[in-house]
A = this chain, B = another copy of it.
């Protein structure tokens, strides 16, 4: 299987398959047909078959998919069978909320360090992790084999910090700052722009009012 051949649209649907298969597995379900999965997930059975055929067609006609096998396989495709070491930059409300979210750890995303520019919270401990000053990021990244940085800082300064992280060797940035980071193409950036999500909701509500 060559991951590069899979379309972005399929990839963007994988986490949802992963979630449903994980829940089915937790409930003790061993096999499921594309029809049953279709009812659960509210997508067509043909879409499910097309999507999952990208990974070599784990299903058997009339027999269904092996839930555990498919769950593990999609997990592996998503890279969830590997550990990722993260640092979190910005220990404000959102940063603390993410640091306290245990589900990321279950998926192999381990927050190793927390950094903030506010001196007053240096030394504060959040879920066992000490908040450190920004000038320790570079050394910490090297010592702790960090590949992902979570940016939970205001947009002012975010571009500059991203630039520094790149120079320190970061591979991926999970960006909550409401700005485009402008990093080189070989750095993966996943943006979570909460205001934009809320605007989409507002737009859709507005369309409804007009109907």
A interface residues (Cβ-Cβ under 8 A, vs B): 3-4, 11-12, 14-16, 18-19, 41-42, 77-80, 82, 84, 92-94, 96-98, 100-101, 103-104, 107-109, 147-148, 171-172, 174, 178, 180, 186, 188, 190, 192-208, 210
Contacts and interface: CB of A to CB of B under 8 A. Distances in A.
B197 A78 contact: no
B15 A196 contact: yes
A103 B195 contact: yes
Given A77-B203, A78-B203, A197 B190 contact: yes
A148 B198 CA distance: 10
Contact of A78 (B78, B171, B192, B202): B202
A178 B103 CA distance: 10
Given A4-B207, A148-B201, A93 B97 contact: yes
A104 B104 CA distance: 26
Contacts of A77: 203, 206
Given A97-B96, A148-B201, A79 B194 contact: no
B206 A78 contact: yes
B80 A199 contact: yes
Given A84-B205, A205-B148, A207-B4, A104 B199 contact: no
A96 B93 CA distance: 7
Nearest to A12: B200
